[in-house]
Amino acid sequence: MRDVTLSAVHNLSWTELKPYAVSLFRSSCASDMKVIIVTPATSAEVRENFTRLGFMLVESPMPTENPIKWDEWGWLRFHEAAKFLRSSSESFRYVMWTDARDVVFQSNPLAWLEKNLSPFKMAIAGLGHAVKDCPQYNDPWVKAVAGSSYDRIREFEALACGTFGGEALLMREMFEDIYDGCISRPTTVRLPHPQGVTDQGMFNVLAHEMYAASTKIPRPKEGFAAQWWPGKSSWPEVFKHEGLPLFDSVQGLVITPETFVPYSIVHLYDRDPLWVEIMRNKYQ
């Protein structure tokens, strides 16, 4: 069985996507399948470059432009990912799902799963702070969908729906549950930041409830994924007892505390303009 990386893009430029694509091309095994879900808003330049780097393009419908359902693309992409896994003629072992615009790979994440996942079935990258300590994003997102579980779930570590992987069947089920959970609920919006139903809010509830027994949340020293940028280390809310990611701007590497090895995945680096420049220069 093969392993596969999955992501989805909508209306992004090749400049924004090149670090993701080039870093995955450099770190992946020849036998791994690289799949990118695209919408009609994806430019010919983006399509041509992904194809040149060996990605399989999967077409997705254009999300509607409805401000009341601002995050439709957020959950539609999971529906398309599940549809791909259901319809593929391939039998997959591991599936690695990430965002694209703000992600780079420093090593093969599928190899990380092979070495470190068992006895769990899914690995989910934590954000290094509790849900309740993110009042602008994760806390209201969880509140919108958690119901009576809200007070309990907000005490847990916030999880990123842009960085998780695991056994193919469980991953497909998670994709489906995110989508079904979002479309079944009415949503509201408060610009510029949403306070209603989002994919990440739904994902946190699912991960901390029905998927909890199957899920591993790797600790920083294990080197799965850094959801970080340098300025985040100064936040009073972040967990500091396990150490903080180390940023080597000379080599363009993000390194684990304690074990001092490069993380397999770096997510959210684009919150720092210097690191946007570093990653774009490194992954040409």
Q: Which of 183, 208, 210, 216 is nearest to 78 (CA)?
A: 183
Domain covering 2-282, topology: Spore Coat Polysaccharide Biosynthesis Protein SpsA; Chain A (3.90.550)
DSSP 76-122: HHHHHHHHHHHH-SSPEEEEEEE-STTEEESS-HHHHHHHH-TT-SE
pLDDT at 30: 87
Domain ranges of the chain: 2-282
42 CB-side CA count, 13 A:
22
pTM over the 0.85 mark: yes
pLDDT at 69: 54
Residues with Cβ within 8 Å of 77's Cβ and at least 6 positions away in sequence, in order, are 8, 10, 37, 60, 199
pLDDT at 64: 78
Tell me the average confidence (pLDDT) per consecutive run of 10 residues in the chain, 284 residues long: 96 97 96 96 97 98 67 89 93 97 98 98 98 94 94 98 98 97 74 71 97 98 98 96 97 98 98 98 97
